[in-house]
Amino acid sequence: MKNLIQNILFFTLLSITNAVALIEIDITEGNREPLPIAITNFFYDDVDAVMLSEISNNLSDVVEADLERCGLFAPINEEAFIQKNAAMHLRPRFEDWRLIKSQALVTGKLKIVDGDKLRVEFRLWDTLAEKELEALVLITTLDNWRRISHMISDKVYERLTGEKGYFDTRILYVSESGPKNQRIKKLAIMDQDGENHRHLTSGKELVLTPRFNPTKQEITYLSYFKNLPRVYLLNIETGNQEVVGDFPGMTFAPRFSPDGNKIIMSLAKDGNSDIYVMDLKSRVVTRLTNNPAIDTSPSYSPDGKKITFNSDRGGSQQIYVMDNDGRNQKRISNEGGNYATPVWSPRGDLIAFTKNFKGNYAIGVMRTNGEGERLLTENWYQEAPSWSPNGRVLIFYRETAANEDGQGHSSTLWSIDLTGFNERKIETPQDGSDPAWSNLLQ
Amino acid sequence: MQFSIIISLLLHTGFIILTVMGLPIFNNQKIDIPPIVQVEILEITEQTNVPEVSKREIEEKEDSEKKKEDVKINQPVLKPKLEKSDEKVKDPAADEEIIKPEIVEKKSVVNMPIRKPVIKKKDNFDPLKIAELIDMAKDTKPIQDVKDEEYESLDSTDTLVNKLTLSEEDAIRSQFLRCWSIPIGMPEDDSLVVKVKISLRPDGSLMKPPEVTDHQRMNKPSQKYFKVLAESALRAVRRCDPIKTPAVERYDDWKELQLNFDPRDILR
């Protein structure tokens, strides 16, 4: 009996010893290259071939383009695929996909249901762990395949990064044409990949700073009527448009609150500009700042409790943060230079801004207390960052200088992600400025 | 008189029409944006998800192609039923969270015998002899003696925790650095460290599927980033399989390793 107890004691001790002795290796660095992913053409039955062959090709092309553009994925060229798409609605041969270095795989199947509806079955696989990560069926009209593609991209992005995607979204901007002193500015809207481009205004009046309502298909923007800037509301589903309030002075930089029920803006009266908020239901206007300096560009935090804005009350343009009732106004930018257009990230952790220093303009981010400032991109002139709905990417516009003859001036839309490495030009039919990113479409 | 009234009326009407037409509301073109067409979304993971199979099992299965074909054919059978059901999953993540814990629970059961090699080890010793040693001294010292005696034959180094030299550790580390694709999109979070235990065969290949020590955290709805990070770590381990190992004579030293995937410096 004594021996038995001793034996048990010994083995317990031995196992503890062994557990302690397990060698730990810290992996604190890794491969920062985009994740190799294979996106196959979606399978369809021969009976549906006439209607679905083109959609199948287009759908995978759109998903591939979305994922490539975000900079986190490296889609593998279709020609490298070993397993052909004929069998892709079944469990993939993972070895074949590992051979071409693919770590994730998107497969799917298309089908016509109820005569004219498109049924898209999509699966995301982990080729190394050999398991299914996501499987969804999406049913919609045949001509809505593009939206389905963006939704699939969003699902892939979300499953592999932990963050919501931003592909099923739209971008609103000011489309510009004509010589610099006679610019025609129209409000324009397009999908985030530049497709479905439309103009919303005719260009007779100057338009500025369009912004989406975060909760519905409504936008607010600034337009000049009889040389007086006014804040407008436009419902993009019905086309209804209205002027927001009739103010004694000029209104600028309107932006919705996160719940979409208020508009915050700056109102200039007698050479002084302050921040005001208007409740859209009651139309009651409340003054939030009261300072002889110029306070402008207000933007709400995603919880609606704080507001960041821009003010020159300290002698130079800087970024300030205050409570939503105007209390506790505090300067947060402290790194030197002038700061403008602060925008609170939808994730809540950062504030994006434009910074003017040493003759250049930079788009950057800082924490909401002003610490950890990072400049993502610098150029001759660029401004007006707007966040993607997941708070990972910023869209802004960049201008090039005109030469002595007044030629060569351009204004283009760009996006950059938080790493600062993935900078992309966003193609628009004409010049563009003042972009704004919508939330994910409902 | 009448003539001038008519002229006046016409001019006034014309003026009113011009004024009304001049309002900004008439200047806007009709908006022609394609409407947002609704999409019906159904979650099908639950019905069709294939259980995780270890590499060795797959190798065994490869021998019988027929069996594999059966698996393939059986895959998508359940789908049509789903469409008819009213289960429109608005938040697929929620459902996923409910289902996956079961799968992982099973996995954890499969992976449980981490201490298996320990049991093997005891065969190398004479229990009675060791029992004598324990009996001789009543404090903790004998454990130390036992340890020393046990490892003396395997390794000349004194330390028990670091049985590999720094360069051997570096050699292993550098392999995983190359294999690990960091999910760069993550926010900064000091708790984001994934510990993975791996058991290796003498040739450096995986003996069993790698195991995340805190696998329960992977299934918490609030731990989406941890899950993504853990999956990336598991992919790294599989991608590196088999690894180049230190000398086979010292197999016991490296047959089990814990890899701490720590992206904090990278995300900062």
Q: What is residue B22's predicted lDDT score, i.e. its pLDDT?
A: 62
Can the peptide bond before residue B142 be classed as cis, meaning omega within 30 degrees of 0?
no
Please give, one letter per residue, the 3-state secondary structure of chain A.
CHHHHHHHHHHHHHHHHHHHHCEEEEECCCECCCEEEEECCCEECHHHHHHHHHHHHHHHHHHHHHHHHCCCEEECCHHHCCCCHHHCCCCCCHHHHHHCCCCEEEEEEEEEECCCEEEEEEEEEECCCCEEEEEEEEEEEHHHHHHHHHHHHHHHHHHHHCCCCCCCCEEEEEEEECCHHHCEEEEEEEECCCCCCEECCCCCCCEEEEEECCCCCEEEEEEEECCEEEEEEEECCCCCEEECCCCCCEEEEEEECCCCCEEEEEEEECCEEEEEEEECCCCCEEECCCCCCCEEEEEECCCCCEEEEEECCCCCCEEEEEECCCCCCEECCCCCCEEEEEEECCCCCEEEEEEEECCEEEEEEEECCCCCCEEEEEECEEEEEEECCCCCEEEEEEEECCCCCCCCCEEEEEEEECCCCCEEEECCCCEEEEEEECCCCC
Mean pLDDT, residues A173-177: 93
- CA–CA separation, A159 vs B93, rounded Å? 9
Q: What is residue A276's predicted lDDT score, i.e. its pLDDT?
A: 93
Q: What is residue A1's predicted lDDT score, i.e. its pLDDT?
A: 55
- CA–CA separation, B2 vs B95, rounded Å? 81
User: What mean pLDDT value characterizes chain A?
Assistant: 88
What residues of chain B lie within 8 A of the CB of A135, using their CB?
43-45, 48-49
- Residue pLDDT, tens place only, B133-156: 444 333 333 333 333 333 333 343
What is the model's pTM?
A: 0.75
- Residue pLDDT, tens place only, B211-246: 999 888 888 888 888 998 999 999 999 988 888 988
- Closest-CA distance, B214 to chain A, in angstroms, reads 15
User: What mean pLDDT value characterizes chain B?
Assistant: 64
Task: Please name the residues between 192 and 251 in chain B that touch chain A, using a CB distance below 8 Å.
Answer: 195, 197, 224-225, 227-229, 231, 233-236, 238-239
Q: Which residue, among B23, B36, B119, B136, would best test binding to A if mutated, counting the most A CBs under 10 Å from its CB? A: B36
> What ipTM was assigned to the predicted interfaces of this complex?
0.77
Q: Does the structure show a pLDDT above 50 at A265? A: yes
- CA–CA separation, A205 vs B193, rounded Å? 55
Would you place residue A255 in the very low, low, confident or very high pLDDT band (cuts 50, 70, 90)? very high
Q: Does the structure show a pLDDT above 80 at B130? A: no
Q: Does the structure show a pLDDT above 90 at B115? A: no
**B53: nearest CA partner in chain A:** A130
Phi, psi of B67 (to 5 degrees): -55, -45
Mean pLDDT, residues A297-324: 94
Q: What is residue A85's predicted lDDT score, i.e. its pLDDT?
A: 67
For residues A72 and A130, the answer to whether their CB atoms sit within 8 Å is: no
Q: Does the structure show a pLDDT above 50 at B107? A: no
Would you place residue A421 in the very low, low, confident or very high pLDDT band (cuts 50, 70, 90)? confident
Q: Among A257-266, B221-230, B258-267, which range has the highest average pLDDT?
A: A257-266
Mean pLDDT, residues B52-59: 42
Mean pLDDT, residues B180-209: 86
Torsional sign, CA A298, A299, A301, A303: positive
**Is the CB of B131 less than 8 angstroms away from the CB of A10?**
yes
Task: Please name the residues between 123 and 162 in chain B that touch chain A, using a CB distance below 8 Å.
Answer: 127-128, 130-131, 134-135, 143, 146-147, 150, 160-162
More confident residue, A416 or A21: A416
Lowest mean pLDDT among A40-49, A115-124, A419-428, B145-154: B145-154
Q: Among A238-252, B71-85, B226-240, which range has the highest average pLDDT?
A: B226-240
Q: What are the C-alpha distances in Å from A245 to residues A249, A282, B106, B143?
A: 11, 11, 62, 83
More confident residue, B83 or A59: A59
Q: Does the structure show a pLDDT above 60 at B78? A: no
Would you place residue B23 in the very low, low, confident or very high pLDDT band (cuts 50, 70, 90)? low
HSE-up of residue A278 (Cα within 13 Å, Cβ side): 20
For chain A, the straight-line distance linking the first and the last C-alpha, in angstroms and rounded, comes to 72
- CA–CA separation, A415 vs A279, rounded Å? 32
Residue B151, token pair as written in the block: 């490892």
Mean pLDDT, residues A415-437: 92
- Closest-CA distance, A284 to chain B, in angstroms, reads 24
Mean pLDDT, residues A5-29: 65
- Residue pLDDT, tens place only, A307-317: 999 999 999 99
Mean pLDDT, residues A117-137: 92
Would you place residue A386 in the very low, low, confident or very high pLDDT band (cuts 50, 70, 90)? very high
**Is the CB of A90 less than 8 angstroms away from the CB of B24?**
no
- CA–CA separation, A255 vs A134, rounded Å? 36
Residue A437, token pair as written in the block: 């990113």
Lowest mean pLDDT among A1-10, A53-62, A419-428, B147-156: B147-156
Cβ-based neighbours of A356, under 8 Å, separated by 6 or more:
A317, A337, A338, A339, A340
